[in-house]
Amino acid sequence: MSDEGRLQPYKPLGAHLKQVRQKLQESLAEVSGAVEIDVELLERFEHGSERPSEDLLMLLISHFGMQDDEAVGLWELAGYEKAYRPTSTPNNPSTDDASAKQLPLLMMLSLDTRIVYSDGVNITANPNGIVISFTQNGQDNQAVPIARVGMSREHAQNVLQVLHQAITQSTHLHAPKALPAPKDQKKPKSDSN
């Protein structure tokens, strides 16, 4: 094995991760912050000298919003067990019983409870639903996606109603509170006679 092969055993994986990051116009700091790892560790991944753990690779795949085929390719570049792919269909049964017993790929996504503030939003819709992309201005004032949420059209209508109610309630909460002015009451005249 060459010196480069020993120093960069995951060079194809790293090159692909770097290419995806650059295509999305995200900095090392933005991506490392999004998946909560050190910038130096992400640099080692992109350099090919280290490979991310399965969990970290899943977080990167999720952050980049990769399609299934690209995600499976990246998974295989990392040298992890091949993902489940159906080997037989009703029209084309497989004769290899061992391949028919493959286990499905389990994808774990961590729940991120941090609050991320955005200064922009992009909404795409089709007959099946909508996708809301929240953005922040990054380098060179380009909008960088920081969160993406997909939902059905019906759910989007419900979100719209809840959002309207929350805005209305918050507007009323900030209105100055005032007590009604006291009524001008006349003091009863005392009998001084």
CATH class of 1-84: mainly alpha
Contacts of 65 (CB under 8 A, 6+ apart): 145, 148
- Cα–Cα distance measured from residue 121 to residue 123, given in angstroms and rounded to the nearest whole number: 7
Q: Which two tokens stand for residue 11?
A: 């060079």
> Residue 64 carries which DSSP code?
H
pLDDT tens digits, residue range 64-85? 988 888 888 888 888 887 543 4
Average pLDDT, the chain: 78
pLDDT tens digits, residue range 21-46? 999 999 998 888 888 888 899 999 99
Q: CA-CA distances (angstroms) from residue 102 to 16, 58, 84, 86, 180?
A: 27, 20, 6, 8, 74
pLDDT classification of 96: cutoffs 50, 70, 90: very low
- Cα–Cα distance measured from residue 130 to residue 153, given in angstroms and rounded to the nearest whole number: 6
Which sequence spans correspond to the domains of the chain? 1-84, 117-173
Which percentage of the chain shows pLDDT scores above 90? Answer: 16
pTM above 0.75, yes or no: no
**CB count in 10 Å sphere of residue 60:** 22
- Contact by Cβ (8 Å): 48, 22: no
Q: Which residues partner with 132 through β-bridges?
A: 123, 149
- Contact by Cβ (8 Å): 71, 58: no
